[in-house]
Structure 1
Amino acid sequence: MTAPRNVAAPVTGAVGRFFAGVGLLLRGLGLYVRSPGLMLLGVVPALISGALFVTAFATLAYFVEDLAAWVTPFADDWPTSTRSLTRVIAALAFLGLGGLLAVVSFTAVTLVLGDPFYEKLSERVEERLGGTPGAVEVPFWASLRRSVADSLRLVGRTVLFGIPLFAAGFIPVLGQTVVPVVGALVGGWLLAVELTGAPFSRRGLRLADRRSILRADRPATLGFGAAVFVCFLIPLGAVLVMPAAVAGATLLARRSLGQTVTED
């Protein structure tokens, strides 16, 4: 099945569409909290992967000073204040790269671990909105293979984007102001592409189709993804928000395909 063509983006300003994307996460949260039983079940895979990634990030934070010294041997003979500043910037760059990788990788691992639940959650959201036009049957193992393959590709892309962002993090001031914003937008885009996997796959659409369709309303996609990214940076935010992000991503997919996103 090929991707629908000429999917028109809403006729509003880019800023308005960006905040409409942010609103999709809030609406996803509203849809999700109406089912307390599903809420508890949805938190389980997020708790498991969350524990793994918190441990990994804490390990990075513990060794970050050593890593900063390792990548800045040229500063060994510099005056103490200059050397310290350089290594603080290097440490922040490491933590920024680690945060970007952790957020996207957390989402990838959690979607794989909780594939059956999140697939069902996405289906229920669509049922509330009138069903899935053009739905195709996706067997469990095929869905799991798709999820793993897409996740590996997206984590690879995160690394490719993360390396130049890591290098830019060494630039004084710019690296601590502009670069984190760019990182949140890049991470947000990758999260949006990753989280919308289930609703697009349900329509027989592949990763390339997904990217193409989401680009048609890039501001809304970035707004949704950046909101998820920021929530995932908050302690326990990733665990609590993950199921709502899946519900919101289903709304984003429907919006991008020109389908209804409001209940009758």
Structure 2
Amino acid sequence: MDPHKQTQQKSGVNYFIMGFSLIKRPGLRRFVFIPLLINLVLFSGLFYLAINQLSRIFDWLSLQLPSYLSWLNIILWPLAVITLLVVSSFIFSSVMNWLAAPFNGLLAEKVEQLLSGKALNTGSNMDVIKDIPRTLSREWIKLKYYIPRALIFLILFWVPLLGQTVAPVLWFLFTAWMMAIQYCDYPFDNHKVPFSDMKKALNNTKGSSFSFGATVTLFSMIPIVNFVVMPVAICGATAMWVDKYRDAYRNPAIAPE
């Protein structure tokens, strides 16, 4: 089969799954380990503090409940911990995208180099440090794009009937789109492709963009597993960049319109 056709047939799901094998490659492990270590340390610390607060709340609750309702603690504790894991993982992943942004861009660069056989950046480590303000500025652009649209979708949850039927579906699709934007943006940004052009390119390949984003969203909902979602998604998104977009943006004359 023609390799070009194989590339076209590969879905976003395939690229995300490909990320699991890429993060284990010897040349990439150290770039995966640093953001993972930061993620683990911060998340563990915050989770420890949250558990301590929950313990105090349940101690107070035990004093308020009559003895014949003490069995509720057995049910409420696991529910509280699971809820804390799920909610905190979503909030924490957003914070980590900011803290790990420079490392994420570097990881995307190394994955592209591994897959294409060509180095992207020949500058020094100091050049990478100097680029941090621009990288964080790009994260701010993504946040400004996300917040007003997220608020509109969240308002739909308060609309009778729509909030229980259409709104959850629209929210999932919007989240999938944002996940595609979040992680595909790293290789695009490494090549200084403007944010608007990146969105247009992803929009022109809606099938792979949404399937990739939806897969990232589903894996992000799984506690513990979501620790590795970020580097896996970056590796998968970069593989998608190399296959679908890289050649076009290296030759602006054929860049997606």
Hey, what does 1:130 align to over in structure 2? 116
Distance 1:187 1:37, change over 3 A: same
- Do the aligned partners of 1:21 and 1:224 also contact (CA within 8 Å) in 2? yes
Q: Which residue of 2 aligns with 1:198?
A: 186
Number of aligned residue pairs: 208
Q: Distance in 2 between matches of 1:162 and 1:52?
A: 29
Q: Identity of paired residues, percent? A: 22
> What pairs up with 1:1-264 in 2 under 5 angstroms?
20-35=11-26, 37-38=29-30, 39-48=32-41, 50=43, 103=90, 106-131=92-117, 139-171=127-159, 174-257=162-245, 259=247
| Residues 150 and 194 in structure 1, CA contact (< 8 A), matched pair in contact too | no
Which runs of no fewer than 5 residues in structure 1 stay unpaired?
Answer: 1-9, 59-94
Q: Aligned AA for 2:34?
A: L
- Cα distance between partner residues in 2 of 1:50 and 1:189: 25
Specify whether residues 146 and 189 from structure 1 end up closer, same or farther in structure 2 by C-alpha distance, changes over 3 A only.
Answer: farther
SS of 2:138's partner is: helix
Report the residue type matching 2:115 in the other structure: L
Superposition deviation, residue 11 in structure 1: 7.7
Normalised TM-score (structure 1): 0.63
- Structure 1, residues 48-73: CA drift from partner, whole Å, max 9, x if none? 56458879999xxxxxxxxxxxxxxx
Q: Measured at CA, do residues 148 and 178 of structure 1 come closer, stay the same or move farther in structure 2, by a change above 3 Å?
A: same
Q: Cα gap change, 1:165/1:201 in structure 2, threshold over 3 Å: closer, same or farther? A: closer
CA shift at 1:126, angstroms? 1.4
SS, match of residue 33 in structure 1: coil
Q: Contact 2:220/2:229 (CA < 8 Å) preserved in 1?
A: yes
Deviation sequence 1:203-225 (CA, Å, 0-9, x none)? 22121221122222122111111
Q: Secondary structure at the match of 1:129?
A: helix
Q: Does the CA contact (< 8 Å) of 2:220 and 2:226 recur in 1?
A: yes
Instruction: Please identify, of 203-212 and 117-126, the stretch whose mean Cα deviation from structure 2 is larger.
Output: 117-126
2:176, 2:210 within 8 Å by CA — same for their partners in 1? Answer: yes
Indicate how the Cα distance of structure 1 residues 49 and 159 shifts in structure 2: closer, same or farther if over 3 A, else same.
Answer: farther
CA 166–214 in structure 1, closer or farther in 2 if over 3 Å, else same: same
**TM-score normalised to the size of structure 2?**
0.64
Judged with a 3 Å threshold, the aligned counterparts in structure 2 of structure 1 residues 29 and 173 are, in CA distance, closer, same or farther, namely farther
CA RMSD of aligned residues (A): 3.9
Q: 1:102-145: CA deviations, max 9, x gaps?
A: 74x64553233224432332223212212458768593245322
Q: 1:221 to 1:50 in 2, by over 3 A?
A: farther
- Flag structure 2 segments of 5+ consecutive residues without an equivalent: 52-82, 249-257
